[in-house]
Amino acid sequence: MKTTLIWLLLLAACPAFADHIASSLGIFAGNLEYDQTDVPAITVTNVEGKYGLHFSPNMSVELRIGFAKEENEVNDLGNDFQIELDYYTSVYIKDALPLTNWFELYALLGYTRAKLLGTVTSADGTFSDKTRDTDSDLSYGLGATFRFSDSIISNLEWKRLIDGDLFEISGFALGLAYKF
């Protein structure tokens, strides 16, 4: 319901920005850290695609879909902990602050939904438990954009995807995008 309301408000505002509308497609790669209470932090490599709708030179809405291509595990007190990020989807409002013609800083504020699979296996292999969880939360981040031309841009960003009661998912990513 929240997502539908956000989209309706954004679509209602589109005619006011019609002279400035542009789009962008991009891809990010980076590391996300899964940090849960009483479990060592686990880092996974992720890939993320994005579509941006730019209402002005400094304001846009971005839709993102990502996943962790691998699963990763840590060992704590003889137990193996594995985490696999099946997918996540995010919608962000991005507000940019241009500092030069080729460099800007930006902030992200939005909403993310993620689906995870966690596995715990005892050291002797006698016990194993799998848990699948889908969680959603407010999402935010900070980044920098480097412009190589009017169409080709690169991003470096940090974002917190989920900030739940039991776990957090956050990390850094490097991206490349084409603006049209």
Which structural domain range is residue 167 located in? 2-179
**Whole-angstrom distance, CA of residue 142 vs CA of residue 20:** 23
Give the confidence band of 64 by pLDDT, cuts at 50, 70, 90.
very high
- Residue 172, classed as helix, strand or coil, is strand
3-state secondary structure of 18: helix
Residue that has been written with the tokens 């840590």 in this structure: 74
Q: What's the pTM value of the predicted model, to 2 decimals?
A: 0.81
CATH number of 148's domain: 2.40.160.20
* Closest alpha carbon to 62 in 22, 28, 27, 91: 91
Which SS3 state, helix, strand or coil, does residue 102 take?
coil
| Strand-pair category, 72-76 with 39-54 | unpaired
Span 153-161, average pLDDT: 96
Does the structure show a pLDDT above 70 at 57?
yes
Tell me the mean pLDDT in the region 12-41.
Answer: 77
pLDDT in tens, 159-170: 999 887 778 889
Give residue 74's pLDDT band: very low, low, confident or very high (50, 70, 90): low
75-130: pLDDT as tens digits: 666 677 777 788 999 999 999 999 999 999 999 999 999 988 777 777 776 777 77
Task: Indicate the number of domains in the chain.
Answer: 1
Give the Cα-Cα-Cα angle 166, 169, 174 (nearest 5 degrees): 175
Q: Which residue has the higher pLDDT, 123 or 54?
A: 54
As a whole number of angstroms, the distance between CA 126 and CA 148 comes to: 55
- Residue 33 forms beta bridges with which residues? 43, 170
Residue 57 parent element (H or E) = none
For residue 178, the 8-state DSSP code is: E
Contact (CB, 8 A) for 66 and 86: no
Which tens digit of pLDDT belongs to each residue from 143-152? Answer: 999 999 989 9
pLDDT of residue 48: 95
